[in-house]
């Protein structure tokens, strides 16, 4: 089986996990989670230099990943579990009392794989820059990746951080923007138009690339190319919110609502169980 | 004062600068970040001698807090430097989520706190920072009283693993604590023993409390003076021990009465030892432009106010 085929099978299972987790507690954010499932699987099953069995907060010698738009925690939890960071059965505790799988990711409960809390938007890029500077001081050649939402780019701190990384030419830093063009209140262009995103990031001193975030080949080849660039790189990642579940695609309304019993059954019919449900 | 000699007035921010510079030499994991106030924070020596470990972030305090949080991943000990206003209120959510909730080993170092910033006026004179920071779970809050103590505190917090808020100021104030002091986080310092009233002071008002105790002695009032350099965790044992003896208390701080040292002490006493307490602090007001001493007088944070508060507290026993 080709690497791509394998990754696609993992992604299908990840999407099943996402809708089942959100359905089970009737809360959470399925839309963005489904849209970013392919990226997470590509990162944790192919791209990142990592060893889940020896995870440490400092991640010395490893690649680090930061999730800035913390509300898409279901996709991260599923990917971390299926990459071996913790038991897959723990996905059943998502958003329940005393869980390590909080509604938004946190270090507070000691879940392996999480290095900083996120949820209040706009903060992840700054943290990723800090981790990159730390690696540089430690002569550590690992890469630092961070994912932000496109609506999240309306937060001012993102541009403070973008200005810094561009001006100081921070290397080994690769940012993804989940460019699904939707946010809670509607389409991004209607809520607060981001304008020409490529031009914005370029003018802040970043190399920009685009990729199809729902295509494994596009993800793998674009990230490989980004790694060879000098200075910070932002990858504008075109995705479909709700990707993989037909009735969740094409609108912003599945940002943060759970499926009913019937909708869950309908979604699972479209997503092959490839690795066994948790 | 015979027992407490001013060895030459100095600004507490310079104590921070010297402490940070020494840390730079002693600990290669110490890094410093500044938001365009390197001279005001006295961080030049560190920046000049350790340029690879100094991060100039520009006027972007939210990003500075986030970068500091990220730097801890990989074992760095970041010290952020800007004015107290921009170290707290401006970046409260960044500190709350990326530093406090995430348990990051960041040292938030804040100068120009309180009224004694002076002429720049109320936009810069934050009087709410102690309250904001002590409300965050597990945040340590320290407000040393002079140059020597600020330097000692700066060095001590590097050895402590966890988020710390270190508050200091702009003007030259008496330098009277020992240069070789051991700074123990959370440990009150008994400066004067007395039996009639306990005066608990922090920061610049500790010297004022000593002045007040000397003048109270001339009136036959025997005041105990405690320097609370660490507001959180509060040295409960030291406070209860003193108040059990004196049965009345005055708190003194360059901060709003709401949410500061006074409230921390009141909460302790309300739970453990209900006691008459008088507050010296700013009473639900913003500051304004003026000379530091003029402002302390106008906003009732001066030696005379501590004396009056002590007499009122004794009368309420």
Task: Clarify whether residues B154 and B233 are in a common domain.
Answer: no
Cβ distance A129 to B67 less than 8 Å, yes or no, reads yes
**Domain, as residue range, for B35:** 10-173
Say yes or no for a CB contact (<8 Å) between B103 and A108. yes
Q: Residue B135, Cβ neighbours under 10 Å: how many?
A: 14
Q: Catalytic residue numbers of B?
A: 61
- Tally: H helices and E strands in chain A: 10, 7
- Has residue B180 been placed in a domain? no
Strands B223-227 and B189-192 turn out to be: antiparallel
Residue owning tokens 């020596």? B45
B244 in a structural domain: yes
B303-315 helix and B205-218 helix, angle to the nearest 10 degrees: 60
Whether residue B195 is found in the same domain as residue B168: no
Q: Which of A117, A125, A130 sits opposite B97 (nearest CB)?
A: A117
Nearest C-alpha neighbor of B192 from the set B226, B216, B242, B235:
B226
Tell me how close the Cα of B252 comes to any Cα of chain A, in angstroms: 35
Which of B65, B66, B101 lies closest to A106 in CB terms? B101
Question: Measured between CB atoms, does B225 come within 8 Å of chain A?
Answer: no
What are the structural domain ranges in chain A? 3-269
- Considering only CB atoms, B66 lies closest to which of A108, A134, A161, namely A161
Inter-chain CB proximity A118 and B97 less than 8 Å: yes
Does residue B316 belong to any structural domain of this protein? Answer: no
Of chain B residues 17-56, which have a CB less than 8 A from chain A?
31, 52-53, 55
Mind spelling out the 3-state secondary structure of chain B?
A: CCCCCCCCCEEHHHHHHHHHHHHHHHCCCEEEEECCCCCCCCCHHHHHHCHHHEEECCCCHHHHHHHHHHHCCCCCEEEEEEEHHHHCHHHHHHHHHHHHHCCCCCEEEEECCCHHHCCCCCCCCCCCHHHHHHCCCCCEEECCCCHHHHHHHHHHHHCCCCCEEEECCCCEECCCCCCCCCCCCCCCEEEECCCCEEEEECCCHHHHHHHHHHHHHHCCCCEEEEECCEEECCCHHHHHHHHHHHCEEEEEEEEECCCCHHHHHHHHHHHHCCCEEEEEEECCCCCCCCCHHHHHHHCCCCHHHHHHHHHHHHHCC
Q: Which of B214, B211, B151, B209 is nearest to B178 (CA)?
A: B151
Rg of chain A, C-alpha, whole Å: 17
Q: Tell me which of B59, B74, B101 to substitute to probe the interface with A (most A C-beta atoms closer than 10 Å).
A: B74
Q: Are residues B269 and B136 in the same domain?
A: no
Please identify which residue in the block is written with the tokens 């500051």. B287
Nearest CA in chain B to A146: B70
Average confidence (pLDDT) per 10 residues, chain B, 317 residues: 88 98 98 98 98 98 98 98 98 98 98 96 97 98 98 98 98 98 98 98 98 98 98 98 98 98 98 98 98 98 98 97
Is B210 an 8 Å CB contact of chain A? no
Whether residue B95 lies within 8 A of chain A, CB to CB, comes out as: no
A-chain CB neighbours of B91 within 8 Å are: none
**Among B172, B233, B242, B168, CA closest to B203:** B168
Q: Does some domain include residue B183?
A: no
Number of structural domains (chain B) is: 2
B157 and B242 in a single domain? The answer is no
Residue positions counted in chain A: 278
- Identify the CA nearest to A195 among candidates A160, A235, A154: A154
CA distance B49 to chain A (A): 16
DSSP helix/strand/coil, A96: coil
CB B47 within 8 A of CB B215: no
Please report residues of A whose CB lies closer than 8 A to that of B74.
58-60, 131, 134-135, 137-138, 140
CB contact set of A194 (below 8 Å; sequence gap of 6+): A150, A153, A154, A188, A200
Taking CA atoms, what residue in B is nearest to A58? Answer: B74
Other CB atoms within a 10 A radius of the CB of residue B85 amount to 22
Say if the Cβ atoms of B74 and A135 lie within 8 Å. Answer: yes
Percent of chain A with pLDDT over 70: 99
Query: For residue A2, what pLDDT is reported?
Result: 62
Q: What is the pLDDT of residue B290?
A: 98
Residues B306 and B205 both lie in one domain:
yes
State chain A's mean pLDDT as an integer. 97
Tell me which residue in A116, A137, A160 faces B76 most closely, judged by beta carbons: A137
Handedness of CA B174, B180, B186, B187 (dihedral sign): negative
Q: What region does A161 belong to: left with phi over 0, alpha with psi -120 to 50, or beta?
A: alpha
B2-39: b (≥16 Cβ within 10 Å) or e: eebeeeeebbbbbbbbbbbbbbbeeeebbbbbbbebbe
**In a shared domain, residues B115 and B213:** no
Residue A7 banded pLDDT, cuts 50, 70, 90? very high
CB B200 within 8 A of CB B266: no
> Is the Cβ pair A116, B98 closer than 8 Å?
yes
- Say if the Cβ atoms of A164 and B58 lie within 8 Å: yes
Q: How far A273 CA lies from chain B's nearest CA (Å)?
A: 35
- Rounded Cα gap, residues B207 and A53, in angstroms: 55
Question: B16 to chain A, minimum CA–CA distance in Å?
Answer: 23
> Which pair of structure tokens corresponds to residue A229?
């660039």
Does residue B114 belong to any structural domain of this protein?
Answer: yes
Out of B70, B96, B101, the one facing A130 most closely (by C-beta) is B70
Confidence (pLDDT) at B3: 82
Shared domain check, B260 and B152: no
- φ, ψ of residue A254 in degrees (nearest 5): -95, 20
Is the residue at B42 inside a domain?
A: yes
Residue B225, domain CATH: 3.40.50.920
pLDDT beyond 70 at A175? yes
Residue A112 contacts B, CB cutoff 8 Å: no
Distance in Å, alpha carbon of A152 to nearest chain B alpha carbon? 15
Of A107, A104, A113, A63, the C-alpha closest to A86 is A113
Cβ atoms A91, A101 nearer than 8 A: yes
Cβ-defined contact of A160 to B62 (cutoff 8 Å) = yes
Same-domain status, B136 and B239:
no
- Does B4 reside within a domain? no
User: Which of chain B's residues have a Cβ under 8 Å away from the Cβ of A108?
Assistant: 101-103
The CATH code belonging to domain A3-269 is 3.40.50.970
CATH number at B143 reads 3.40.50.970
Is B1 within the bounds of a domain?
A: no
Q: How far is CA A136 from CA B73, B151, B234, B263, in A?
A: 12, 29, 38, 44
Is there a contact between A164 and B57 if contact means CB atoms under 8 Å apart?
yes
Closest CB from A66, A118, A164 relative to B63: A164
Please list every residue in chain A whose beta carbon sits closer than 8 Å to the beta carbon of residue B93.
Answer: 120
CA distance A268 to chain B (A): 35
In angstroms, the CA A114 to CA A66 distance is 8
Nearest CB partner across the interface for B62, out of A117, A132, A157 = A157
At residue A109, does pLDDT exceed 70? Answer: yes
Q: Which residues have CB under 8 Å from A40's CB, separation 6+? A: A14, A75, A76, A78, A79
Percent of chain A residues topping a pLDDT of 90: 99
**Which of B107, B139, B173 is the C-terminal boundary of a domain?**
B173
Query: How far does A118 lie from chain B, in Å, by closest CA?
Result: 7
């Amino acid at each position: 089986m080709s690497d791509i085929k394998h990754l696609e099978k993992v992604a299908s299972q990840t999407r099943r996990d996402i809708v089942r987790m959100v359905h089970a507690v009737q809360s959470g954010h399925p839309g963005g989670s489904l849209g970013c499932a392919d990226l997470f699987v590509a990162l944790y099953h192919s791209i990142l230099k990592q060893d889940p069995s020896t995870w440490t907060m400092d991640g010395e010698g490893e690649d680090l990943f930061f999730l800035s738009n913390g509300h898409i925690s279901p996709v991260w939890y599923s990917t971390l579990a299926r990459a071996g960071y913790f038991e897959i059965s723990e996905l059943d505790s998502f958003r329940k009392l005393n869980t390590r799988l909080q509604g938004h990711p946190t270090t507070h409960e000691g879940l392996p794989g999480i290095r900083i809390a996120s949820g209040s938007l706009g903060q992840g890029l700054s943290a990723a820059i800090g981790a990159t500077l730390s690696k540089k001081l430690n002569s550590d050649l690992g890469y630092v990746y961070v994912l932000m939402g496109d609506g999240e780019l309306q937060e001012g701190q993102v541009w403070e951080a973008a200005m810094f990384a561009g001006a100081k030419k921070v290397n080994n830093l690769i940012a993804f923007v989940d460019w699904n063009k939707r946010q809670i209140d509607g389409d991004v262009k209607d809520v607060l138009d981001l304008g020409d995103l490529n031009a914005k990031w370029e003018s802040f001193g970043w190399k920009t690339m685009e990729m199809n975030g729902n295509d494994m080949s596009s993800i793998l080849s674009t990230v490989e190319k980004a790694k060879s660039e000098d200075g910070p790189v932002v990858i504008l990642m075109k995705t479909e919110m709700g990707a993989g579940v037909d009735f969740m695609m094409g609108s912003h309304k599945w940002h943060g609502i759970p499926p009913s019993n019937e909708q869950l059954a309908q979604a699972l019919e479209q997503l092959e169980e490839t690795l066994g449900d948790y | 004062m015979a027992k407490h000699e001013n060895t030459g007035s100095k600004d507490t921010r310079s104590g921070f600068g010297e402490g940070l510079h020494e840390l730079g030499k002693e600990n290669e994991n110490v890094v410093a970040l500044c938001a365009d106030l390197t001279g005001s924070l006295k961080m030049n020596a560190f920046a000049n001698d350790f340029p690879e470990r100094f991060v100039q972030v520009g006027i972007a305090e939210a990003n500075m807090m986030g970068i500091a949080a990220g730097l801890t991943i990989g074992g760095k000990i970041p010290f952020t430097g800007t004015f107290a206003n921009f170290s707290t209120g401006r970046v409260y959510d960044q500190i709350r989520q990326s530093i406090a909730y995430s348990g990051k080993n960041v040292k938030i170092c804040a100068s120009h706190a309180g009224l004694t910033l002076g002429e720049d006026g109320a936009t810069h004179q934050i009087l709410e920072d102690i309250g904001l920071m002590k409300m965050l779970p597990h945040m340590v809050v320290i407000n040393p009283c002079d140059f020597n103590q600020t330097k000692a505190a700066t060095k001590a917090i590097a050895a402590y693993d966890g988020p710390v808020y270190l508050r200091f100021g702009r003007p030259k104030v008496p330098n009277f604590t020992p240069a070789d002091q051991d700074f123990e986080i959370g440990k009150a310092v008994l400066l004067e023993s007395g039996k009639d009233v306990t005066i608990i002071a922090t920061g610049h008002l500790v010297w004022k409390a000593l002045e007040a105790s000397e003048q109270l002695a001339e009136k036959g009032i025997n005041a105990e003076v405690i320097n609370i350099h660490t507001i959180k965790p509060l040295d409960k044992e030291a406070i209860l021990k003193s108040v059990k003896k004196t049965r009345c208390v005055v708190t003194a701080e360059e901060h709003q009465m709401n949410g500061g040292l006074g409230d921390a002490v009141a909460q302790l006493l309300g739970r453990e030892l209900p006691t008459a307490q008088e507050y010296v602090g700013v009473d639900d007001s913003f500051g304004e432009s003026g000379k530091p001493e003029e402002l302390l007088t106008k906003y009732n944070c001066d030696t005379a106010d501590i004396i009056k508060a002590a007499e009122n507290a004794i009368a309420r026993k």
